[in-house]
A = this chain, B = another copy of it.
Amino acid sequence: MSREGKIYGVGLGPGAPDLMSVRADRLLRGASHIAYFRKAGRAGRARAIAEGIMPQTATEIAMEYPVTTEIALDDPAYNRALSEFYAAQAARLAALSAQGRDVVVLCEGDPFFYGSFMHLHARLAGAVPVEIVPGITGMSGAWTASGQPITWGDDVLTVLTATLPEDELARRLRGTDAAVVMKIGRNMAKLRRACETAGRASDAFVVQYAQMPQQSVTRLSDAPESVPYFTILLIHGQGRRP
């Protein structure tokens, strides 16, 4: 019987291909099987980062989300559809492992930080060999793009998703030194109101497409109402500095 293959969850970093780790780059260049998530009908952001690094001969395993924003998050049908999807993709990867194939799964940012791969990891770990390669997070890419450090001295950093209720966003933004808000997309108007309620709107910056050619950094007051899902809001800490 051949050895089991290993499933690698590989962090690609925030967007620029040369911001992936040397280990990730080496794994991608040597990969025979490469899997990635994407929206149906799209090329996929992770796949785009890997273009030019992964071998053209690699077998590609596109994992297409069954739903993204067509069904409300709190609809049980959303949860059921995603659960079945992740179970099916995990089974697909487990079958390749059983055939002795190593599979590199492309993960934007860091695999264990709000990533889709975590839902496969939860189903595979313990049953199949899995290894994680951490990556530079999207938020690191964003604060680097902003040209200012995010935390100094004893600063408290709070990381939030803009999917939270407006009053909770405002409360959390008021009570922290530094903040990062992820998953903005269609929640921009709510997030803007929460920043204003918290008295933090004038400190906030909005970063779109961090570390990609179309990168933009603006003050919140200059940011458009319509932004992509992966847009990140930053409030920089102002802590102790000698």
Q: Which residues of A contact B (CB under 8 A)?
A: 11, 13-14, 16-23, 25-26, 78-80, 82-83, 86, 110-115, 118-119, 121-122, 125, 132-137, 140-141, 143-144, 147-161, 163-164, 172, 176, 211, 241-242
Q: In this complex, what residue of B is CB-closest to A53?
A: B22
Contact A134 B242 (CB under 8 A): no
CA distance A7 to B77 in the complex (A): 53
Q: In this complex, what residue of B is CB-closest to A17?
A: B22
Contact B21 A118 (CB under 8 A): no
Contact B23 A18 (CB under 8 A): yes
Most chain B beta carbons < 10 A, residue from A83, A159, A172: A159
Chain B residues, Cβ within 8 Å of A144: 110-112, 132-134
Contact A21 B136 (CB under 8 A): yes
Chain B residues, Cβ within 8 Å of A111: 144, 149
